[in-house]
Structure 1
Amino acid sequence: MRALLISLIFVLFGLASAYAQKQIKGNVKDTKGAPVVSANVNLKDKDGNILSFTRTDDKGNFTLSFNEETKDLSIEATTIGYEKKILAVTDLAKVYDVVMKDSEINLKTVVVKNRPALSLNGDTLNYKTSDFADKQDRSIGDVLKKMPGIEVSEDGKVSYNGKGISALYIDGDNVLDDKYSIGTKSIPQGAVDKVQVIEKDQPVKMLRKNNMSEDVALNLVMKEEAKLKVMGDIRAGLGTPDRFDGNANAMLFKKKTKFINNIKGNNVGIDPGIDLTAFNPFNSGNDKPSGFLSAGAAGVPTLPQKRTLFNKAGLANLNNLYKFSDELQVKANIAYLYDQRNQQYSKFSETYLSGQTITYNELQENAINPQKFQAKLNVLDNADDHYFSNNLVTNYSLNNTASNVITNGIGANQALNQKNFEISNELSYRKKLKSENTFNFFSFVSRTSQPEVLNINPGLNEAILNNNQPFAGLNQYVKLPTWYTNNYTAFAFVNNKFTQTYRVGFNLQHQELGSELYRIQNNGNTELVSSQMTNNLAWLKSKIYTDATYEYNSGNFKASLGLPVSYNHISYEDETKSLDKNLHRVFVNPSLSLKYQTGIENYVTANYSYNNNLGGIDDVYRGTILKNYRSLFANDAPITESKSQSVGAGFNFRKAMQMFFLNLSANYTSSTVNTISSYNLSNNIQQRVVIALPNDMKSLGFSANASKYLFNLRSTVNVGASFNQSTFEQLQ
């Protein structure tokens, strides 16, 4: 009976509750009749109080339950992307259809400040160009200067953490070789997606598997839209008095065709010839003198060039690459420079000797007209199992200088003409053999001529050059044709972490130095000043060499030991000077380099080398050459022989994510040379004679450089310090 009573109470309570609770049903759709899912639906009274709320289901249906007996109810539907909809409740039994209209959402502007970041992928460090670029940055070179760890010098040389780059690639292609400054100046920064720093860069594909390279290169990854068509710009500026500065670029960066062609000219103190600077010039071993004659003692001022250069110059610089396939390509780099310069130079110097003071008070005005033509044609076949490269290079330079000089009150006019023509061919072939072993053949051949003529009027230093008699002028002639070749074959044997390379080769250098100094008498007669002021020197320098290189690479530790051995023979003769000499030397020039990776991003290096070197033809000619209006040069010594030892160490530290870079280095070099220059000075002329006298030279250097990106200031700070000390002996 008790259980029946309790059950009856619960039933009556449930019926009472069911009777008190009310429901409103409906459906929410958009203007096209599609259900609006998950819309918020509220039931409100006349004061706006929410009595019930729910969400629509996947068909847009909703049910609102409530208990209060209230009049003036309303249904409110809201959701993102639709206007709010309100309907009045008129009948609780009615099913309400709510139609919502689409609406646009205007969000407040939000400025997102991205924190620049570097990404590291193996040996490649990636800089996002947009993270470092500003609106005022025109070229990629402007942005490179802001990237931590990267430095750009005044002449355009690019370095990474203290080390100069070996190449500047554009989407993996080396369009510009080592004259890459035109690329950093011309390529718009907006066309570059990212800059990649490639450590351990190895351009030869077949050597990448067992890579021992320590070179660093930069690769510019172009944006897709920058590859679609020719880009370029034209800039021109005019000023007073009669000033101009113009520049025109045309660039294309397609997969098969790439070019950077530039024409520029100005007379506002900018040297366009800087674009022809080779930052990693090929060392052929052809150590010939660059020139014997000069216009005088005027040097390069230490002030900024724009303040001291008065010029009118133009440069055409054409660089074009075409790829037949991923392996085969042809490239042409052609440039022509025309320049006119005006210089005014004054110098006062005193040299104090025992019981005598030598004074030079010099004024000089120069009109200089240098011209350069450079052409290089390269054919490259770079595959996984072979490598072929052939460079045909032509260089021609013409330099004309007209000078007015006054030395200690004595005036004269000078005219200097120098021509230098060189044509060369460099061939390199590599073939991969079995077991990753490789064969290499290399050949380099060049022909050079460099005639020079110096005219001076009226004649100077008659006490030395014309028996104390006044005369009309002097003509100095010098010519030095040169043949040179260097050839070798090499085999490399790879065994896991070890690589052994054995090379054998030879080089030959043949030169003929001819010079004469003529004087012109006041009656117009031309005669040889003296037989002692002529040269007819034949020079032959040959070397047979072999070297063994042993390399070890365990990942964290690298070591390289070089053991080159060479037999050197030099013969030179000048019958007019009763000169006939021969020299035979065997040299061993060992070298050792070590590298240890102290962390993922940090490493230390150490190196040692011992070198023997022999001088060139400019060390042994006996006949006097009039170098300029007040300098006579000659030699009275054997071939210069030098021995040097060098030791160095370095530490490279990097925290890429924090954008902090640090490098430290120290170097010490000690050398001994068997000859020294002796000078005989008077108030009108300087005579230099090289004599046999052993002497020592020592140099010590330290450097430290750091680069840090300041995120709050969005700028890079570079700090560097260096110390150098040299000691040498000088003949008094």
Structure 2
Amino acid sequence: MLKSYYYAIAILLCMLSYNAYSQKVDPTHIGTVKGIARDTAQNYVLKSATVSIYKAVDSAIVSYQVTNNYGEFSFKNLPVNLLLRLEISNVGYAPTSKTFTIPGDKNAVDLGTLIVNRRDILLEDVVISVPPMSMNGDTLEFNAAAFKVDTNATVEDMLKQIPNITLWGDGQITVNGAEIKSLKVNGKSFFGDNVKVAIQNIAANALQKVQVYKQNQGSTNPLDSTLEMNLKLKKGKDIGYFGKFGGGYGTNKRFESDANINMFSPKMQLAIVGAANNVNKGLNSVNDMLENSTFKGQGTNVEYQPDFRESGINKHSALGANFTYNFIENPTYDKKNTLKSNLFVRDRDTDNSSESTTTTSISSTDKVIENNINTNTSNNITQHFDSNYEFTKKGHTLSFSQNVDRNSGESTDQSFRNARNLQDVLTSTNNSLNTNNYNNNNFYLRAGYRYYPYNRSSTTRFIGFNLDYSLTGYNNESQRLNLTEFKSFTGTNQNNKFNRKYDTNNDGTKHEINLVLPDLKKLLLGDARLADIGFELTNNLVVKTDKNVN
């Protein structure tokens, strides 16, 4: 009987092993395909032509690349035993299409030479599909229509579909490993050059192309160029608006709410944002609130979260606006006429109370029990307004900027302490009251002019100058009151009372003029190297007044 039992177990294990082996799935095979693209008229190889591979069943894009200088293309990591469609497109040529399948037993296909017809010798109609990527001069362009996303997707969702583009958690964007230093929308800054505001609010179906190019910013040295990305919107999509409203209410009367409305056109951008909460979430600037209240709402910064390290109940409310107007619809680095302004108002109320009991042993038979009650209330209002105007045309730059800040508030700090012995007899009290009222005002005004030769060569000796004027002013007022009273019930000679008032008033102004002549060596000595020593002339004039009253 026992032997039959062992036989049954052995047969069962064999069946399970066979079943497990039969259910193994072979690892997914990957294949390669290569070929050469040639011109049908001149028999020239086609370099920088876009070669795309789609799934034939649903036209989903699999991979793409551009041909090298010999017209060659080579794809790896392609699915086998699946019908694929290859398309070649180039400026001035009709799209060329070819279907193929990579057999699983070979894992490689050589398509040989593919002839691409010029558009002027087309013999029949063809269906033109949009290539996912193309080169337009020195600009790398990704066509939005080639990437399938949901109907409610944003630009961020579409960028994640492009293999060459990587979106990092800290908001950085890289293309082929190179960092994007600036992101534009239709060639202009979009609500302060904030990447998240652009890619998490603009709908993917409004996008026509993603353009990547190098920007030299007026420098003649190619090493000084930076990589820039431009989101080119479809015609008619460059006028619009977007916004968001959110709110929540919880236990103990805790609440949180925020709202924003953003409008844009080819020349104007306006953002209005507001928020309020009593969950210790700080509201520090317009840009912070815009960045962290996007339509998609992903990647909220740690700084824009409730700070549970703060004590007490902190109620924050803020309102801000961001305005930009381009008098020139398509500004460039050397031709712009732009006005920008920001407004931010914040109100913060703090209510904090604490109570503690401390027991101090004086001897084995004597102890002092202290009860402390502390209350603190404060209110702070911060107001900020700044504006900037810049006019640039062919080597001349004129700019004006100003900002005004006001910080006012009041606070009250009270402390009540009493001490008792083991017999619960009151021995002393120590009470204090501190109040503070303050009003701080600061303003800054700047005007600047910069000239540099618009058409400059290696023989140009005078390369321009910078002239700046600035005015800074401040006025700070504060009134403080400190009241402290100690009363002893064991000895009246220890009683003490402290009453002090402080009234301070500080104000001042500062005028400053700066004149800078850069590269003075070239101006005076031309191309003389002088061991590569360079120098410039700077003239600085400062007039300053300060008044302090205590």
Letter of the 1:265 partner, please give it: A
Summarize the Cα distance change of 1:224–1:312 in structure 2 as closer, same or farther, 3 Å threshold: same
Summarize the Cα distance change of 1:164–1:232 in structure 2 as closer, same or farther, 3 Å threshold: same
CA contact (8 A) 2:341 2:387 kept: yes
CA contact (8 A) 1:137 1:143 kept: no
The residue aligned with 2:440 is 419
Displacement of 1:414 in angstroms is 2.7
Q: Within 5 Å, which residues of 2 pair with 1:638-653?
A: none
Displacement of 1:112 in angstroms is 1.7
Summarize the Cα distance change of 1:176–1:238 in structure 2 as closer, same or farther, 3 Å threshold: closer
Give a deviation string over 1:201-229, Cα, whole Å, max 9, x none: 444xxx24346636x56544132146443
The residue aligned with 2:425 is none
CA contact (8 A) 1:259 1:320 kept: yes
The alignment partner of 1:174 has SS state of: coil
Task: Give the total of aligned pairs.
Answer: 359
The residue aligned with 1:38 is none
Displacement of 1:253 in angstroms is 3.8
| 1:334 paired to 2:342 | yes
Q: Within 5 Å, which residues of 2 pair with 1:535-574?
A: none
The alignment partner of 1:458 has SS state of: strand
Letter of the 2:269 partner, please give it: F
Summarize the Cα distance change of 1:480–1:164 in structure 2 as closer, same or farther, 3 Å threshold: farther
Summarize the Cα distance change of 1:250–1:506 in structure 2 as closer, same or farther, 3 Å threshold: same
CA contact (8 A) 1:133 1:143 kept: no
Summarize the Cα distance change of 1:425–1:197 in structure 2 as closer, same or farther, 3 Å threshold: farther
Of 218, 237, 242 in structure 2, the residue corresponding to residue 232 of structure 1 is 242
Counterparts of 2:180 and 2:59, CA distance in 1: 37
Of 490, 495, 501 in structure 2, the residue corresponding to residue 474 of structure 1 is 501
Give a deviation string over 1:568-605, Cα, whole Å, max 9, x none: xxxxxxxxxxxxxxxxxxxxxxxxxxxxxxxxxxxxxx
| 1:510 paired to 2:516 | no
| 1:487 paired to 2:521 | no
The residue aligned with 1:542 is none
The alignment partner of 2:379 has SS state of: strand
The residue aligned with 2:259 is 247
Q: Within 5 Å, which residues of 2 pair with 1:301-320?
A: 304-305=305-306, 307=308, 310-320=314-324
Q: Within 5 Å, which residues of 2 pair with 1:493-642?
A: 502-508=536-542, 510-512=544-546, 514-516=548-550
CA contact (8 A) 2:178 2:227 kept: no
| 1:379 paired to 2:390 | yes
Summarize the Cα distance change of 1:509–1:213 in structure 2 as closer, same or farther, 3 Å threshold: farther
Displacement of 1:451 in angstroms is 0.2
The residue aligned with 2:187 is 172
The residue aligned with 1:456 is 481
Counterparts of 1:486 and 1:245, CA distance in 2: 46
The alignment partner of 1:232 has SS state of: strand
The residue aligned with 2:277 is 267
Displacement of 1:434 in angstroms is 6.5
Letter of the 2:515 partner, please give it: Y
Summarize the Cα distance change of 1:478–1:233 in structure 2 as closer, same or farther, 3 Å threshold: same
Letter of the 1:376 partner, please give it: S
The alignment partner of 1:250 has SS state of: strand
Summarize the Cα distance change of 1:277–1:263 in structure 2 as closer, same or farther, 3 Å threshold: closer
Of 222, 231, 251 in structure 2, the residue corresponding to residue 221 of structure 1 is 231
The alignment partner of 1:471 has SS state of: strand
Displacement of 1:376 in angstroms is 0.6
After superposition, the CA RMSD in angstroms is 5.2
Give a deviation string over 1:161-219, Cα, whole Å, max 9, x none: 999986543322235557x47844874252455666666x444xxx24346636x5654
Counterparts of 2:187 and 2:212, CA distance in 1: 12
The alignment partner of 1:188 has SS state of: coil
Displacement of 1:447 in angstroms is 1.8
Counterparts of 1:145 and 1:314, CA distance in 2: 37
Displacement of 1:271 in angstroms is 3.8
The residue aligned with 1:188 is 202
Of 388, 400, 418 in structure 2, the residue corresponding to residue 391 of structure 1 is 400
Give a deviation string over 1:669-689, Cα, whole Å, max 9, x none: xxxxxxxxxxxxxxxxxxxxx
Summarize the Cα distance change of 1:193–1:439 in structure 2 as closer, same or farther, 3 Å threshold: same
Counterparts of 1:142 and 1:507, CA distance in 2: 54
Summarize the Cα distance change of 1:136–1:312 in structure 2 as closer, same or farther, 3 Å threshold: farther
The alignment partner of 2:497 has SS state of: coil
Summarize the Cα distance change of 1:394–1:236 in structure 2 as closer, same or farther, 3 Å threshold: same
Letter of the 1:112 partner, please give it: A
CA contact (8 A) 1:183 1:260 kept: no
Letter of the 2:317 partner, please give it: A
Counterparts of 1:212 and 1:386, CA distance in 2: 22
- The alignment's TM-score, normalised by the length of structure 2, stands at 0.51
The alignment partner of 1:305 has SS state of: coil
Displacement of 1:487 in angstroms is 1.0
Counterparts of 1:237 and 1:399, CA distance in 2: 28
Summarize the Cα distance change of 1:303–1:378 in structure 2 as closer, same or farther, 3 Å threshold: closer
Stretches of structure 1 that go unaligned for 5 or more consecutive residues are 1-106, 279-300, 349-360, 463-467, 517-732
Summarize the Cα distance change of 1:371–1:186 in structure 2 as closer, same or farther, 3 Å threshold: farther
The alignment partner of 2:498 has SS state of: coil
Displacement of 1:236 in angstroms is 4.1
- Of 498-507 and 235-244, the range deviating more from structure 2: 498-507
Q: Within 5 Å, which residues of 2 pair with 1:70-219?
A: 110=58, 112-115=60-63, 151=168, 153=170, 167-174=182-189, 176-177=191-192, 180=194, 183-184=197-198, 187-190=201-204, 191-193=206-208, 201-203=215-217, 207-210=218-221, 213=224, 216=226, 218-219=228-229
Summarize the Cα distance change of 1:182–1:337 in structure 2 as closer, same or farther, 3 Å threshold: farther
| 1:402 paired to 2:408 | no
Counterparts of 2:438 and 2:535, CA distance in 1: 47
CA contact (8 A) 2:273 2:286 kept: no
The residue aligned with 2:451 is 430
CA contact (8 A) 2:286 2:320 kept: no
The residue aligned with 1:356 is none
Give a deviation string over 1:534-578, Cα, whole Å, max 9, x none: xxxxxxxxxxxxxxxxxxxxxxxxxxxxxxxxxxxxxxxxxxxxx
CA contact (8 A) 1:483 1:511 kept: yes
CA contact (8 A) 2:438 2:478 kept: yes
Counterparts of 1:335 and 1:430, CA distance in 2: 31
Letter of the 1:421 partner, please give it: N
Stretches of structure 2 that go unaligned for 5 or more consecutive residues are 1-54, 66-131, 290-301, 357-371, 418-429, 488-494
